[in-house]
Every structure is written in structure tokens, then in C-alpha cells.
Structure 1
Amino acid sequence: MQHKMLNPQRSLSELPKMSTASQVERAVLEEEFNWLLKEEVHAVLKQLQDVLKEASRRFAMPTPGLESQLKQENFILGSSTMDQVKGVLTLQGETLTQADINLKVAKSSQVLHFQFRDDKQWKLQQIQDARNHVNQALQLLSSHDESYHFKTGAEVNKLMDAVMLQLTRARNRLTTPASLTLPELATSGLMKMFSPPMPGDVMANFYINLSKLCLTVYQLHVMPPNSTKVRGCDSVKTLLNLTTTALR
């Protein structure tokens, strides 16, 4: 077996050339990276900002003193339980301004009719919270406009992590409604919204689930011995699509 010996003089003579080539290559890469930070990153952030502005616009944020100018939308509810719940809801921005509900009592031909009192409106906190998170993401992007100079890729990643955190929170508020226990629902302000008042064994809840406006009505039935059976009737209607591409 033959072993080839490297020429130490040749290897040493090539080191300056290799070192120079590496320095040139590194300088080129740094120049390209700086160009990406200065030009391409801001172009992508601008596109994202435009998408989020459109998402924010869909939430129809009311202008103080001009709330009445917001478009009102009526939603005819369709029941998923053999038409036990029917009604019309009026949504203005993030607020339910009117509700007209007919509830067919279980195992009876009786139909109960409820409306929002004239002096009452119900704010959908989910819409307000989701809008706030989208606006916080927009503020993060606005604070890093084209005049801002990113120094490292890690800085870009940190910004995007913060933006995506807000968008994830916005999406979760629309896709995961806060569940209320029956005692919480019974003592909530929603039960004081209706005229005539709902009976003590009937409770209702409004919420957003994905792109749907939902109404759930609960009828409680006392069962011996001292047990309570809860019957839930769901009524849903597709809402204006609030979940844009940026929120999915």
C-alpha cells in the first residue's frame, strides 16, 4: 500500500488564496443578506400589512359618535333541532342591537316569544377581542416600516413571532368560544336583555364559532330525585367571513 504525502510547501502557499476567496465569498453573502433585510423583508411585511388592514376593516370598528352609521345586518336563524328555535338577529359591527326569538317548548305546542328590550344591546366580546389582536399585529408591523433598518435575521424572526402570536390569539377567539357554565349564564347580563323576561328554566347564549353566529337556548327540566336535565337547542347562521387568509 502506497501513501501519498502532501506537499507542505504547496499547501501553505495556497492558504492565502483560499483565505482571500473565502473573504470575497463571505463579503458577497453579507451584501446579499443586507439587501434582503433592506428590500425584500419590507416588501413581504407590506403585503402582510395590507392583508391585515383588510381583516381589520371587516371587523367594522365603530367610530365614536358615529356608531349609527355602521351597516346593520339581519341574520335569519336556522335551527338544527327540528325548528325548535327560530328568530332574527340584527348585528351592527360587534353589537347585537336586536333579537327576535321564537322558542318551541319541548314536548309542548307552546311557543315562547322574546325580544331584546329597547334599551338593551349585547356586545359580542369575541369580535372585539379578535379585532384588538389584529390591530396589535398591525401596530407591530407599522413600528417597523420601510424607514426601519433590520440588523439581523433574528430580529426579523422576533418580529414575526410577535405578529403571529397576536394573529393566533385573534383566530382562537373566533374558533374557540368561551364556554359558560349554566350558573354563570344564569347570572350573566344576557338574561336581563329580554322582554318579556325569560322564564327561570330557560337560558340563552350568543357566540361566534368560526364564521357562524350561534344562538344556544337551554331548557332545564327537573327530574326526580332532585336531578336536572338540560336540553339544548342550537341555532346558527353564517356570519360575514371574518377569518381571512392571515388568520387561518
Structure 2
Amino acid sequence: MATAMASAAERAVLEEEFKWLLQEEVHAVLKQLQDILKVDAPALTMSSLGQEASHRFALPTSGSGGAIQQENFVLSTSGTDQVKGVLTLQGDALCQADINLKMPRNNQLLHFAFREDKQWKLQQVQDARNHVNQAIYLLMNRDAKYQFKTGSEVLKLMDAVMLQLSRARNRLTTPAILTLPEIASSGLTNFKPAGGSILHNPGAMFEFGNQRYEVSHVHKVECVVPWLNDALVFFTVSLQLCQQLKDKISVFSSYWNYRPY
């Protein structure tokens, strides 16, 4: 009898703790996730990490400070000076590029630049921003007065948010490779592709100035964009918070033979 009473008392305590988790802690975590993704709470420790990145990923709002400032980034190559240049990035658009290419056979220097009337929209950044906005929508879809009734409801929400954040992170960490036809159709250049060769394959053909050219060498150039690194950091932090909340829900379920949610 004493054991049964003790079990009943323990169960009652656990049920009260689980109720508090659903009513209080879940909303606290949702608010923290919103603060990290929207970066609108100066008191939050992680907010400063994503402040610059938030300007690229947040939903546009009226009177938010006008156009995004242009940033210049120097292109670098590993162990060679065959390619040098500077890119100008404005939000999710590559608006200017100035590139010098040294020909490997005769060291002739060729100069390339973007057309002034064209911009190259970075689809990966646009897609990542859309996923973040969808995650924010899911988090804000239930206000502070909303009462979560079951643990499964919380798990389903966390899974949906984590899916969007994972897609956003993966979209930024997996570079997209365009084909020559895709670049030609973008209107950024004046050459016409010949055939369907992939841009980075030697042997690809294209036409320029009524002459046909073949890609003989490939040079990979990179530039570091600090705010993208910041974005990846707060994606990771947000995913960790979601997982921690899921783990707490799962711990409570282990105290019952049936799933109390």
C-alpha cells in the first residue's frame, strides 16, 4: 500500500512537472528561437552573432533602414595567381565583379567585369532566407497564451522548425554549380554556349565575338563572407535548442509505459 501511494505521489509530481514544461518552458524556448532568428532582442547572448546575417534573412519590413550596404570581397586562389578579382555583394545579389585572368601559355592578362545593368541573384541565399522565414512563421503561429496539450504537439512543431533550419543550413553549405547555358541565359554575359557541357569541365565550348572557344583550364576562386559564417552559427544554435526541448519531452515519456502525449 505504501509503495502504491509513493508511486501515485511520484506520478502526480511528474505530471505537474510535465504540465509546467508544456505551459511554460516550451513558450520560453519558442521565444528564444525567435530572438535568435529575428535578432531583435539585445539582451540575448547569441543575438550579436547573427545581427549582420539577419538583414539578409529577415522578412522585409517598412522603414527598416533602407537599402542594404554593398560589401567588397577579394577573390583568392590556392597556390596560384592566375585569377585575381573583387566581388561586390549587396544582400543576396552579386552586383559587381572585376576579375583579371592570366593566361597559362603566354601570361596574357584578360580583364572581365559584370555588365552594369545586371545583377546576379544568389539563389542559395534567397532559398535559405525563405526557409528561415518559414521557421519564424511556425514559431510565431502560436502566441504566448496558446496552451500546448500534448508532448507530441511540441515534437511535431520542433520537427517542422528543424526541417526548415536544416534546409537553410544545407542550402548555404552546398555550393551550386551553374552550366554554361544557365550562365548565358542569365544575361550577365555576352557569350553563347555551345553544347551542354558543365561549366567546370575542361572541354566545354562557348562562343564569344563570333569565335568559338574551348575551356582548357579550370581555376577555382573563393572569398570569405563573414556574415554567412554567422548565419551558420545561429542555425546550429537554434537546432540545438530544438533538440534539447525534444529530449526533455522524451525523458518524461520514459516514466510511463504508455506515451503520455
Letter in 1 for 2:156: K
Q: What value does the CA root-mean-square deviation take over the aligned residues?
A: 3.1
Number of residue equivalences: 210
Map of 2:250 onto structure 1: none
Map of 1:112 onto structure 2: 110
Letter in 2 for 1:185: L
CA contact (8 A) 1:60 1:70 kept: no
Map of 1:246 onto structure 2: 234
Map of 1:29 onto structure 2: 14
Percent of pairs identical after alignment? 54
Extract unaligned runs of 5+ from structure 1. 1-13, 206-215, 223-227
Q: CA deviation at 1:108?
A: 2.0
CA distance in 2, matches of 1:131, 1:246: 13
Q: Which is further off, 22-31 or 169-178? A: 22-31
CA contact (8 A) 1:37 1:151 kept: yes
Extract unaligned runs of 5+ from structure 2. 40-49, 206-213, 237-261
CA distance in 1, matches of 2:66, 2:110: 30
Bigger-Rg structure (1/2): 1
Alignment of 1:192-231 (within 5 A): 192-194=187-189, 197=190, 220=203, 230-231=216-217
TM-score normalised by the chain length of structure 2: 0.69
Map of 1:188 onto structure 2: 183
TM-score normalised by the chain length of structure 1: 0.72
Alignment of 1:91-240 (within 5 A): 91-180=89-178, 184-189=179-184, 192-194=187-189, 197=190, 220=203, 230-240=216-226
CA contact (8 A) 1:126 1:174 kept: yes
Map of 1:57 onto structure 2: 54
Map of 1:213 onto structure 2: none
Per-residue CA deviation, residues 207-238 of structure 1 (Å, 9 max, x unaligned), is: xxxxxxxxx9776489xxxxx77521111111
Map of 1:10 onto structure 2: none
1:38 maps to which of 16, 23, 36: 23
Map of 1:83 onto structure 2: 81
Letter in 2 for 1:174: L
CA distance in 1, matches of 2:177, 2:115: 25
